[in-house]
Amino acid sequence: MTTTTPHDEAADLRRRLADSLTSGGALSHTSPWHKAFAAVSREAFVPRFSVRSGGELRSFGAKDAGYLAVVYSDDTLVTRRDEAGTPVSSSSTPSLMARMLEAFTVADGAQVLEIGTGTGYNSALLCHRLGSENVTTIDVDPDLTATARERLAVIGYTPLVVTSDGTRAYTTGARYDGVLATCGVDRVPAAWVRQVRPGGVIVTNIGDGIIRLVVDGDGTARGGFLPDEASFMRARPTADHVAPTAPEFTGLVVNGKGVARTMDVPVPDDDEHDEMVDRVKAFFGEFVHRPALEIGMLQHDVLAMTLDPEGDTMHGLVHPESGSWARITPRAGARALVEYGGPRDLVTERLALTTQWLAAGRPHLGAYTLAVTADGAHTLSRAEPAARSWAL
């Protein structure tokens, strides 16, 4: 009789995960990262976590039935939340991690800086490929860095783990062959650009996409976006920072009193939506959930929501910093009632961006490029279709 130990099961699941990342296209067939995924223990970094499955949030511990199978699924495993219940640390979806690592085109033995240590799993993948002595990883949360350092050491990895705000320059002034950020940013910090050698790469989540930048000889980082949408937990300025969330402003959106006007909803003919009501719904789905990259980057600090109080659908936009808000209630035909308050007219801003994006044929993320100078100036560009540039 043959028995399978948990160790054997985990090793088999690791190999299957690595193979599935390759067969699914997240890794190339010659990728040097395949061996890392096949070798590094993910369960070492997630003894407890929650995961959303079929709309239900489930919690798992190492002794729970099915634990290892979920650990090696292509799911995000949330390990910590802030006081508002917002996830602030997780082991990200392996296929997304793999796509970012594949875009992180550094040579063997390269010196790299990881922003956002989190659980430490991605740090371990970097150490396996590049060697612990070549990896520096930073996180603002001392509890996360302490735990990650311990778990990395248990499985044989000893990168330099630093507790600091990773969006600022690392104090040694070291320069790296690459910076990989496993957290989301609204702008690429100039400190990252200055800390990467000419020819080095920066890979990070910005807006709703993953950008890969190469630093050139004049200190400017230029590059394009990976084709698939992606979003990471946002970088935190301090370990106890609690970011505002849309539900906090439900009362303001529903009950706010301000300027009112009607709006013509720009609903172009759509083969998939013959009825006007369907086309209006489709428009607001795009308007609110911002698939246009330029919306995510130019209105990165605007929260959005869709509500259905008493059966009357309304959409809300809120800019917490200025107190600006807007409520959009669709009416008969291609019309909507807009009510808003505060110094920013959020609807006019977003409507212009959405209309331009629709007129350009809903360009995908791969149509955009970004340039970031050493002093932090950002220029977002789109060549085709309908060339445009935005100074951020």
Q: Which helix (H) or strand (E) holds 129?
A: helix 121-130
Which amino acid appears at position 16 of this protein? Answer: R
Nearest to 345 by CA among 363, 365, 319, 364: 319
Strands 87-91, 77-81: pairing kind: antiparallel
Report the alpha-carbon distance of residue 81 to residue 345 in Å, rounded.
Answer: 32
> Is 20 a catalytic site residue?
no
Distances (CA, A) of 100 to 147, 228, 278, 373: 24, 11, 36, 22
Residue with tokens 């150490």: 127
Neighbour count for residue 202 (Cβ, 10 Å): 26
Q: Which helix (H) or strand (E) holds 51?
A: strand 48-53
Q: Which helix (H) or strand (E) holds 94?
A: helix 94-103
- The residue from 20, 31, 73, 89 that is catalytic is 89
In this structure, the chain runs to a length of: 392
Q: Which residues are catalytic?
A: 89
